[in-house]
Amino acid sequence: MIDPNLEAAIRSSWSFETSDTDRGWDASNPAAGHCDVSSLIVRDRCGGDLKMAKVFRNGEMSEHHYWNVLSDGTEVDVTKEQFDGTEEFVDTVTLDAEFFATAGPIKPSLLKRWDDFRLRVDQHLNEANG
Per-residue model confidence as pLDDT tens digits over 24-37: 688 899 999 999 99
Q: Are 70 and 76 spatial neighbours (Cβ–Cβ below 8 Å)? A: yes
Task: Work out the pLDDT band at 119, boundaries 50, 70, 90.
Answer: very high
Residue 102 pLDDT > 90: no
Nearest C-alpha neighbor of 57 from the set 27, 6, 94, 23: 23
pTM: 0.91
Q: Please report how many Cα atoms fall inside a 13 Å half-sphere around the Cα of residue 22, on the Cβ side.
A: 8
Domain ranges of the chain: 4-123
Per-residue model confidence as pLDDT tens digits over 35-46: 999 999 999 999
Residue 93 pLDDT > 90: yes
C-beta pairs of 98-105 under 8 Å, 24+ apart in sequence:
none
Local structure of 71: helix, strand or coil: coil
